[in-house]
């Protein structure tokens, strides 16, 4: 039954391609979910800043991060639409080939009906059966008539069924593409509004640029505070170098660490980067600064031992937790809920982020060290 086998092969290929598409789309769906969560957090912060004074620089930092996330989201939507378009083109080709084959089968089916009708005029099936010269021949004629009728019946069903299935699949994919295009239009619209917001914020940038001397003074003070924190960490690492420590699985947690806050936005990234307002000025960060958008609780990202709790000018209190040869640092804490020497588990609340007056309100400074080497926390935190 070559025609039936052909349909089975075509339908199997269709199901395989649809399964691969669904798998890719599910991955993109997860990316969209993560980006939408980040955009929701940054939107909350922007709404909060609009009610506060002296939040111009924070506003710009969050807005810049939101624009980056928005661009990523648009890119994900475009990738998703590209996958669907590709599948639709492949499906259309399959449908075209199948329709040609269906037309051939319909022609054959019509010929069968015509021949059956013509034969019925000459003799009926009963006379054809009893006209056999022997029992074996009669059995063969009976089997042939049975298979013929079954084949004719199945061909008719197969023609209708496969046509309907392919047509319905094409409609479903077209509808999905329409939905995704509508979603992309919405995202683009949001992106345009975001750009408008950034242009409106540019007025604040101009105002901040007029306060260049004050900003540079803040930068110098920030550098001094960061240097004090770095010196303290290096000193503690040197003191711990003689201590015997048990190794941990921290090195296996790269890209899997929980965030040290429930929800937040990174407003200052690791390493050296341009100042968001001042031209030709670069700032450096040994970790990342996370603006918390909800709870002010700071949490341990991995099980470990509290090594030190130290006061740092500009960073309030800092907690250092050791994880074998690794060290995590949580700075700008107002209240501390652990003591030096305590063993903490993953997700343990270790303190409360400072939430008073000033630019560091609600901001957690977070660092990761491997012995004396500073690591980029973004590479370690779960996306």
- How many structural domains comprise the chain? 2
Compute the average pLDDT of residues 28-38. 82
Instruction: Name beta bridge partners: 266.
Output: 290
Please tell me whether residues 313 and 359 are part of one structural domain: yes
Residues 312-354: tens digit of each pLDDT: 888 899 999 999 889 999 999 999 999 999 999 999 999 999 9
The single-letter DSSP state of residue 250 is: G
Please tell me whether residues 255 and 318 are part of one structural domain: yes
Mean pLDDT of the chain: 77
Please tell me whether residues 341 and 375 are part of one structural domain: yes
| Distances, alpha carbon 151 to alpha carbons 74, 105, 247, in Å | 52, 12, 71
Q: Cα-Cα-Cα-Cα dihedral of 152, 154, 155, 159, to 10°?
A: 150
User: First vs last Cα of the chain: how many Å apart?
Assistant: 53
Give the integer Cα–Cα distance in Å for 166 and 143: 34
Please tell me whether residues 189 and 138 are part of one structural domain: yes
52 pLDDT tier (thresholds 50, 70, 90): low
C-beta atoms surrounding 361 within 10 Å: 19
CA atoms within 13 A on the CB side of 351: 28
Please tell me whether residues 325 and 281 are part of one structural domain: yes
Please tell me whether residues 93 and 227 are part of one structural domain: no
Tell me the percentage of the chain whose pLDDT exceeds 70: 69
Q: Which of the pair, 43 or 149, is modelled with greater confidence?
A: 43
206 pLDDT tier (thresholds 50, 70, 90): low
Angle, CA 245 vertex, CA 244 and CA 247 arms, to 5°? 140
Residues 78-91: tens digit of each pLDDT: 888 888 778 778 77
Which residues does 64 contact at the CB level (< 8 Å), separation at least 6?
A: 276
pLDDT of the residue at 146: 63
Please, what's the b/e burial string for 58-97 (b: 16 or more CB within 10 A of its CB; e: otherwise)? bbbbbbebbbebbebbbebbeebbebbeebbebbeebbee
Give the integer Cα–Cα distance in Å for 323 and 314: 26
Domain boundary pick from 162, 188, 207: 207
Please tell me whether residues 129 and 245 are part of one structural domain: no
Domain boundary pick from 143, 173, 207: 207
Are β-strands 349-353 and 326-336 bridged in parallel, bridged antiparallel, or unpaired?
antiparallel
Please tell me whether residues 171 and 255 are part of one structural domain: no
The single-letter DSSP state of residue 258 is: P
Domain boundary pick from 176, 207, 238: 207
Give the integer Cα–Cα distance in Å for 208 and 60: 11
C-beta atoms surrounding 171 within 10 Å: 10
Answer whether residue 248 shows pLDDT above 70: yes
170 pLDDT tier (thresholds 50, 70, 90): confident
Please tell me whether residues 139 and 187 are part of one structural domain: yes
Compute the average pLDDT of residues 19-28. 64
Residues 228-247: tens digit of each pLDDT: 888 888 888 887 776 666 67
CB-CB contact of 298 with 347 (8 Å): no
- Find the domain containing 308 and state its range: 212-379
CB-CB contact of 89 with 81 (8 Å): no
Compute the average pLDDT of residues 159-188. 75
Residue 330, domain CATH: 2.70.70.10
Q: Which of the pair, 75 or 257, is modelled with greater confidence?
A: 257
The winner for highest mean pLDDT among 20-34, 42-56, 183-197, 306-320 is 306-320
pLDDT of the residue at 23: 47
Predicted model pTM: 0.63
Please tell me whether residues 132 and 167 are part of one structural domain: yes
Please tell me whether residues 55 and 193 are part of one structural domain: yes
Please tell me whether residues 154 and 295 are part of one structural domain: no
């Amino acid at each position: 039954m070559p025609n039936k086998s052909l349909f089975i092969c075509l339908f199997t290929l269709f199901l395989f391609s649809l399964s691969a598409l669904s798998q890719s789309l599910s991955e993109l769906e997860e990316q969209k979910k993560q980006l939408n969560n980040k955009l929701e957090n940054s939107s909350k912060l922007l709404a909060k800043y609009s009610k506060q004074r002296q939040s111009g620089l924070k506003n710009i930092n969050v807005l810049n991060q939101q624009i980056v996330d928005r661009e990523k989201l648009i890119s994900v939507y475009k990738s998703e639409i590209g996958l669907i378009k590709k599948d639709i083109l492949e499906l259309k080709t399959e449908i075209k080939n199948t329709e040609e084959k269906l037309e051939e089968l319909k022609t054959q089916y019509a010929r069968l009906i015509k021949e059956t009708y013509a034969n019925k005029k000459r003799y009926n099936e009963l006379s054809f059966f009893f006209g056999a010269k022997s029992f074996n021949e009669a059995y063969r004629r009976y089997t042939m008539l049975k298979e013929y009728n079954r084949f004719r019946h199945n061909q008719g069903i197969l023609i209708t069924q496969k046509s309907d299935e392919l047509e319905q699949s094409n409609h479903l994919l077209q509808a999905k593409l329409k939905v995704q295009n509508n979603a992309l239009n919405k995202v683009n619209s949001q992106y345009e509004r975001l750009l408008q917001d950034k242009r409106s914020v540019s007025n604040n940038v101009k105002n901040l640029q007029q306060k260049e001397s004050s900003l540079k003074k803040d930068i110098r003070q920030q550098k001094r505070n960061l240097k004090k924190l770095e010196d303290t960490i290096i000193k503690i690492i040197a003191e711990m170098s003689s201590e015997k420590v048990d190794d941990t699985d921290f090195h296996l947690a790269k890209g899997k660490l929980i965030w040290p806050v429930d929800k937040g936005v990174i407003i200052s990234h690791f390493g050296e980067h341009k100042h968001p307002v001042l031209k030709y000025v670069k700032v450096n960060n040994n970790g990342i600064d996370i603006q918390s958008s909800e709870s002010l609780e700071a949490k341990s990202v991995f099980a470990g031992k509290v090594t030190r709790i130290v006061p740092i000018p500009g960073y309030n209190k800092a907690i250092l937790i050791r994880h074998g040869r690794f060290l995590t640092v949580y700075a700008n804490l107002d209240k501390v809920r652990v003591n030096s020497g305590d063993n903490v588990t993953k997700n343990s609340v270790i303190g409360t982020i400072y939430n008073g007056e000033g630019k560091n309100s609600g901001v957690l400074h977070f660092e990761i060290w491997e012995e004396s080497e500073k690591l980029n926390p973004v590479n370690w935190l779960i996306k």
